Structure 1
Amino acid sequence: MAIKLNNENLSSLGVPAPGYDRGQLKGGIVHFGLGNFHRAHQAVYLDRLMNTGKGLDFAIVGAGVMPSDARIRDALAAQDFLYSVVEQSAEASDPRILGATVDYLPPADAAAIIAKLSDPEIRIASLTITEGGYFIDASTGHFNPQHPAIAADGAAPDQPKTVFGMLVAGLRARREAGQQPFTVMCCDNIPHNGDVTREAVVGTARLSDPELADWIDANVAFPNGMVDRITPATSDRERAMIRDDFGIDDDCPVFCEDFIQWVLEDNFPAGRPALEEVGVEFVEDVAPWELMKLRILNGGHAVIAYPAGLMDIHFVHEAMENELVRAFLEKLETEEIIPAVPPVPNTDLQAYFRKVEERCANPKIGDTVRRLCLDGSNRQPKFIVPTIADRLKAGQGIEGLALESALWCRYCAGTTDSGAEIAPNDPNWDRLTTVAKAARDNPSDWLAMADIYGETGKNPDFARAFARWLEMLWDKGAEATLRSYLAA
């Protein structure tokens, strides 16, 4: 019979558990968004550090602004904010119990969250609120202060509903009390994530208090960082695995790959945990690592995703077992994507790509093709289109990238090559499906989506290649189209 995960049963679980006294922990970080990625990444590094006896005053206090956060908050609270992380290589599954989280404030309780942000012991406010949570105006690529949710926080700054409104309120309270501001650390997978977060916080503050906005801009640190770990969603499958394989009754397990990386700019005026001692790489400028990951890893995910989706392949490792998908990834990365990535200090780009292949082929992860296909309208402009633009500017070929774009368009038409329906898989799915169907006869309709392609969609070389591949995908299907590309 499985043993319930909680403080009382820690010593009976038979797996590695916190080697530190959790009673000695003090909250030093308020983190918005205690989803799987945060709990398998930032929290893992902190737990490692605490197991060395350091960083005990940087424990995590969770916060959330969405009603859906209540379920995970209640589940974690019921097991003393403990949970299991199972790191999976192709050969082994290694579980351990993490204890770096000490509380989770009631979701959307603005008063409680602002009060905690005002606590001088809090020196970092961190975020994993997904790529789509930063209120970016797709047409400009910048923060949109006119978004209704942000405008509402500007009109009622003492009763904020968004993460950024709460951060502003917390910083206002600290300024009024003469306290040093906390550092705001974004851990989401977006380019220049610290700069994006600064624009959102300052922009929100400016709606109600321009002087405070200027003070935040001048005094609050927003370090950029690059984060990486494949972490699928938890389902009943994972809960059954932790129960059946390891005898642990855990409602919130996280299964992830054994690879982990965090490159972070060292800009923490209020102090930080010594994470360099447990594998975090602190650098002056994270941009080279960030660009490498966005193009080679995240761009590579898109290359795998859409042909696999059209061919009814379910898991990512199964896609990597398909000779056409894997060869498409190899050819496109080697010929078009990697050559568009500038050198990265102390990094072999080809070796990095080989590691990407190895990670995607890991059969233990259970990562799904559907997850990689998710949210293309937000991801393509970050992971694929900039590489196309750079290569066109340099007069270089974009055949493979044009095919990737055509595969995404064909996927968004809403059916696989077998005729199976594709369930909505993008915040803008209705719009994308309408345009993708129209593009079957008029490919330029797809490239005319300026919020995604910008000026790149107007390039005649790209438009011709895109139209040719899209026509082939509709006429012959993804498998035959990949064969044609690879043969060329």
Structure 2
Amino acid sequence: MHNYTTWLHIGLGSFHRAHQAWYLHQLRQSGDTRWHIAAGNIRDDAEATIEALRSQNGEYMLETVSPAGERNYEVIQSIQTLLAWQPDLKPLINEGAKASTKVIAFTVTEAGYYLKTDHSLDVTNPILIGDLNGGHATIYGAVIKILQARMDDHAGPVTLLSCDNVRHNGERFRDGLLECLTLQGNADLLAWVRANTTCPNTMVDRITPRPMPDLPARVKAQTGMDDRAPVMGETFIQWVIEDNFIANRPKFENVGVEMVESVIPYEEAKIRILNASHSCIAWAGTLLSKAFIHESTLIDAIYNVAHNYVHHDVIPCLGDNGINLHAYLETVLERFTNPYIKDTNQRVAADGLSKIPAMITPTMIECYQRGMTPHATAMLPALFFVFMQQWHKGELPYEYQDSMLDESAMHTMFDAADPIQVYTQNAALFGELATQAEFATLIRDKISIVNEMIA
């Protein structure tokens, strides 16, 4: 039974099950059954899914759908160990401490890294403070507990793999982890981590909405399978990984994963072209009373904002990086028009306070450095300002989710004599641009255009 190698995944959500688990499944289907996934969570907000999967021996149906409406169904069987959540995370820690576990992967939101704009840890965050004092509510705290157990048990080296949309995610996680250990004064584990772990950068891509209520019935009708935890995503899938594993790794290159020396060109294209325009479309679509990404993208005014942002500002900033960026832009916007995905503006609009500094501000700064005014990119923070103004007034059609949101501070900003001035001077959002009068004027102009657009 134990002649396998374990890929431990923390954060058993829809994206992991539609993306990384799919690739591991393809590997197993090809005859390479050396790897299997063990998965669990550091919070107890998905135990219903874990229970459903456990009742199905870890198996579930993945439905994929193309922009033309072609649906495909595949039973995914790569998740073979489901770890129940406990307050002390013991099942997760014990699995991660086994010598047979060679990769510990995780999916974290931008906010889950607890980073300031200079990429150092936000050590004022109360949740992070709790982990610095021995807690495990963040990915850092949880991984530290696992690695401590690995060191104590002499379980050997392990690769720590970020599978999310954060730029330079492996480096960011490693820096945060080492900073946590330094602040904890845990010199022994700090030295062990430096010698026994690597943190490759990755770029992941497959649009995976929250499963709609009608999915189980459709799966049953199409396949005959009674599935209490199906997932769905678009047909498109991509995974680019820096080939920097300290221990054994799956032969991912055999199933279409791009194992590369540097992820940076792919990462920059994905984050700036796909992720930033996705958020832009969600904010704009919400302001124009649309519920879904596809219907928002099909509005000419919104499509043009996203297209102009990439065409005029992003592509000149990225330069010739070996990727056909114009073709990538057209592919991305076509994917967004997929009416069968039913991806909600609410899901994609979330966490704007992390996305602006991570995904949008770098392009504006680089435009200025190139002697260009970022007219097209400035529309994105302008949209977010008007979007949050609606939130302030209680006029958004849904609850806005943002782990970085300080509600009282946001209300105070909009109650100020000149909210735009307060907004543009926010260094957490705009870095060095926050002190520039030219930038403030630009955003003020673009907010006027947004208000005209939604009037």
1:341 aligns with 2:306: no
Match of 2:12 in 1: 34
CA distance in 1, matches of 2:129, 2:454: 48
C-alpha spacing 1:41/1:110, structure 2 compared with 1 (3 Å):
same
Map 1:62-461 → 2, pairs under 5 A: 62-91=39-68, 92-108=70-86, 109-136=88-115, 138=116, 140-145=118-123, 147-156=125-134, 160-206=136-182, 207-345=184-322, 347-414=323-390, 421-427=397-403, 428=405, 430-431=407-408, 433-434=410-411, 437-438=414-415, 441-461=418-438
Whichever residue aligns with residue 105 of structure 2, its letter is S
Match of 1:4 in 2: none
CA distance in 2, matches of 1:429, 1:160: 23
CA distance in 2, matches of 1:147, 1:419: 29
Encode CA deviations 1:346-376: one digit per residue, 9 max, x unaligned.
Answer: x211011111011111111111122221110
Equivalent pair of 2:52/2:229 in contact (CA under 8 Å): yes
Equivalent pair of 1:263/1:280 in contact (CA under 8 Å): yes
C-alpha spacing 1:319/1:436, structure 2 compared with 1 (3 Å):
farther
CA distance in 2, matches of 1:440, 1:401: 26
CA distance in 2, matches of 1:444, 1:286: 37
C-alpha spacing 1:434/1:280, structure 2 compared with 1 (3 Å):
same
Please report how far the alpha carbon of residue 313 of structure 1 lies from its aligned counterpart in structure 2 after TM superposition. Answer: 1.2
Q: Secondary structure at the match of 1:425?
A: coil
Whichever residue aligns with residue 97 of structure 2, its letter is S
Equivalent pair of 1:315/1:367 in contact (CA under 8 Å): yes
The structure that has the greater radius of gyration is 1
Whichever residue aligns with residue 176 of structure 2, its letter is A
Of 29, 37, 41, 1:60 maps to 37
Whichever residue aligns with residue 426 of structure 1, its letter is D
C-alpha spacing 1:220/1:291, structure 2 compared with 1 (3 Å):
same
CA distance in 2, matches of 1:270, 1:379: 33
Which stretch shifts more, 350-359 or 244-253?
Answer: 244-253
Q: Secondary structure at the match of 1:94?
A: strand
Please report how far the alpha carbon of residue 276 of structure 1 lies from its aligned counterpart in structure 2 after TM superposition. Answer: 0.4
Whichever residue aligns with residue 240 of structure 2, its letter is V
Q: TM-score, normalised by structure 2?
A: 0.92
Please report how far the alpha carbon of residue 217 of structure 1 lies from its aligned counterpart in structure 2 after TM superposition. Answer: 2.1
Which stretch shifts more, 306-315 or 253-262?
Answer: 306-315
Please report how far the alpha carbon of residue 204 of structure 1 lies from its aligned counterpart in structure 2 after TM superposition. Answer: 2.9
C-alpha spacing 1:123/1:421, structure 2 compared with 1 (3 Å):
closer
Encode CA deviations 1:9-68: one digit per residue, 9 max, x unaligned.
Answer: xxxxxxxxxxxxxx78835111101101111110011100111111x2320001211011
CA distance in 2, matches of 1:144, 1:419: 31
Unaligned runs of 5+ in 1: 1-22, 481-488
The two structures, once aligned, show a CA RMSD in angstroms of: 2.4
C-alpha spacing 1:299/1:263, structure 2 compared with 1 (3 Å):
same
CA distance in 2, matches of 1:263, 1:472: 38
> Percent same amino acid at aligned positions?
29
C-alpha spacing 1:209/1:420, structure 2 compared with 1 (3 Å):
closer
Whichever residue aligns with residue 191 of structure 1, its letter is R
Aligned residues: 451
